[in-house]
Amino acid sequence: MDQQQAPARRRVGLVGAGGISGAHLPYWLSINAQIFVYSTEHAERLVANNPEADVTIVNSLEELLDQVDIVDIMTPTPDHYAPTKAALAAGKKVVCEKPLTRHTGQAKELLELAEPGQLYPAHVVRYFPQYAHAKRIIDEGTLGELGVLRFTRRGSYPTRDWYADPERSGGIVMDQMIHDLDQAYWLAGPVERLYAVNRVLTDPEKIETCHVVMHHTNGAVSHCRGLWGNQRTVFGYSYDIYGTEGRLRFNTDDSAQVRLDDALKAKLAAEKPDKGFLPSTSAFDSPYSTELAAYVAAFDGGELPRVSAEDGLMAVALCEAATASIESGAPIVMKEFLA
C-alpha cells in the first residue's frame, strides 16, 4: 500500500521585523514554516521573543530570496516597493502589507510584473468579521440598494518619525484611512469621484483629522473620517450603512455586535423565523492568521482571497487621489486620475 507523501515544509521569508511582524509570525509558526528574516532592525528581537521557533536571520535580501518560496513584506511603507519588485522578479509568491506601494505608479508597475495569483496585498480589515458580515449582508441584498456609508477610525498621533512624515508614509490618509477607503470600495463598488479635506492642530498636542467623501458609480456615497488624536486617544472604529431596506452598524465604543435596525430585524424575522441574522463578533480568530491562510491557499491553487493585487492598486490610488484633493481643494475624478 502506497504511503501518502507528506507536504513539503514551507520556506517563508520575512522582510522587516517591526511591530506588524508580531501579528504575522503566529500564522507562519502555526503551519511549522521554516522562517528566514531580513531586516535592518529588530531581527534579533524577533528571534529572542520566539526562542522555540525555527527562525534564521540572513544578511541581505538576495540571501533571503535564495532560501524561500513565499515572501512576506512588512517593512515601513516607503520600503514596500523595492523588495516586492525583487521578490516578484525572482519568481517568489509575495504577500505585502498595506499599502502595496507608496505611489500609484509603483503599484501599476508591480501589477505588470506579477503573474496571476503571485501577489496579494495584506488588507486585513477585509478579514475582520464585522466587515465580512457587512459584505455578506450587502451582497445578499438584505439592505437593498446602498445609499450612504459612513466609516470612522481613530488612534493616537504616531510617535515614530516615518509614520507622521506624509512624504514617507502618506500621512493619515494612506497609513490609517486606507482601511476605510478600501472598505467603502469593497462594499459599495467603484468610485467615480472623491473630495477630501483635513485639518492639523499643533497646540497643545499635534492632532490631525481628515474627511473623504466618495461618490460611487452605483450612486452610493461614502463618508470616511480619520483622526490621529492626542496620546490619550483610545483606538476605535465604526461603520454605519444605510440602504433602501434598512440600516447596518457597528461601533467599537458600543459593543462587539453588528446591528441591524429594529424594523429590518422584524421584517427578516417574519420572513425567515428559523434563521439567525448576525453572529457575535466578540471573540474571533486572528484576522491576520485568517488572511494569511487565505493567501497560502490561493498560492496552492485554491479559492481566490478577498483581496486582489488590483484591489491593492486601487487602495493606493484612492489615497493619493484624496491627498491630491486636499492639496488642490478640488474634487478628483478617478477615471482621469488613473489615466
pLDDT of 338 above 90: yes
pLDDT value of position 165: 86
In a domain, 5, yes or no: no
Q: Name the strand (E) or helix (H) holding 211.
A: strand 207-216
Q: What is the pLDDT at residue 7?
A: 67
Output the domain CATH number for residue 17: 3.40.50.720
* 63 in the same domain as 142: no
**What tens digit of pLDDT does each residue of 29-79 get?**
999 999 999 999 899 999 898 888 889 999 999 999 999 999 999 999 999
Same domain, 97 and 217: no
2 in a structural domain:
no
Is the pLDDT at 279 greater than 60, yes or no? no
Q: Which helix (H) or strand (E) holds 62?
A: helix 61-67
Residue written as grid cell 467599537: 252
Question: Looking at residues 77-100, what average pLDDT do you find?
Answer: 98
- Higher-confidence residue of 335 and 272: namely 335
- The pLDDT of residue 255 is above 80: no
Residue 264 has pLDDT above 90, yes or no: no
Give me the mean pLDDT over the 113-131 stretch.
97
DSSP class per residue in 9-37: PPEEEEE--STTHHHHHHHHHHTT-EEEE
Do 138 and 230 share a structural domain? yes
Least confident of 126-140, 244-258, 289-303: 244-258
Q: What is the pLDDT of residue 276?
A: 40
- In 74-124, where do the E strands start and end? 93-97, 119-122
Average pLDDT of the residues in 262-273: 66
Q: Please say which residue of 123, 144, 178 terminates a domain.
A: 123
Is the Cβ–Cβ distance between 311 and 123 less than 8 Å?
yes
pLDDT of residue 15 exceeding 90, the answer is yes
Mean predicted confidence (pLDDT) in 240-253: 95
The mean pLDDT of the chain is 91
Taking residues 272-293, what's their average pLDDT? 65
Compute, in degrees rounded to 10, the torsion defined by CA atoms 120, 124, 127, 131: -120
What is the CATH classification number for the domain harbouring 136?
3.30.360.10
pLDDT, mean of residues 292-313: 97
Q: Is residue 322 situated within a structural domain?
A: yes
Please indicate whether residue 210 or residue 253 has the higher confidence score (pLDDT): 210
Answer whether residue 167 is part of any domain: yes
Tally of structural domains, the chain: 2
Residue 1 within any structural domain of the chain: no
141 part of a folded domain:
yes
- Per residue in 148-185, pLDDT (tens digit) is 999 999 999 998 878 878 899 999 999 999 999 999 99
Residues 83 and 132 in one domain: no
Q: Indicate the range of 138-142, 162-166, 333-337 predicted with least confidence.
A: 162-166
Q: Is the pLDDT of residue 137 over 60?
A: yes
Residue 160 belongs to domain spanning? 126-338
Q: Based on the domain organization, do 131 and 51 belong to the same domain?
A: no
What ranges in 140-274 are assigned the alpha helix state H?
161-164, 166-169, 171-172, 178-188, 262-271
Same domain, yes or no: 95 and 114: yes
What per-residue confidence (pLDDT) applies to 254?
Answer: 85
* Cβ atoms of residues 243 and 147 within 8 Å: yes
**Quick one: CA dihedral 222, 223, 229, 232, positive or negative?**
negative
- pLDDT for the residue 327: 97
β-pairing, 207-216 with 119-122?
Answer: unpaired
Q: Is residue 51 one of the residues assigned to a domain?
A: yes
119 assigned to some structural domain? yes
Whether residue 81 is found in the same domain as residue 230: no
Please check whether residues 68 and 216 belong to one and the same domain. Answer: no
Q: Are 298 and 119 in contact (CB under 8 A)?
A: no
Give 97's strand partners: 122
Average pLDDT over residues 293-322: 97
Whether 113 and 139 map to the same domain: the answer is no
Percentage, residues of the chain above pLDDT 70: 91
pLDDT band at 85 (very low <50, low <70, confident <90, very high): very high
Q: Are both 178 and 88 inside the same structural domain? A: no
**Final residue of a domain: which of 123, 154, 171?**
123
Domain boundary among 77, 93, 123: 123
- Do 197 and 262 lie in a common domain? yes
pLDDT of residue 277: 41
Q: Can you say whether the dihedral through the CA atoms of 79, 82, 85, 89 is positive or negative?
A: negative
Give the DSSP letter string of 157-179: PP-SHHHH-HHHH-HHIIIIIHH
Same domain, 283 and 178: yes
* Torsion over CA: 285, 290, 292, 297 (sign): positive
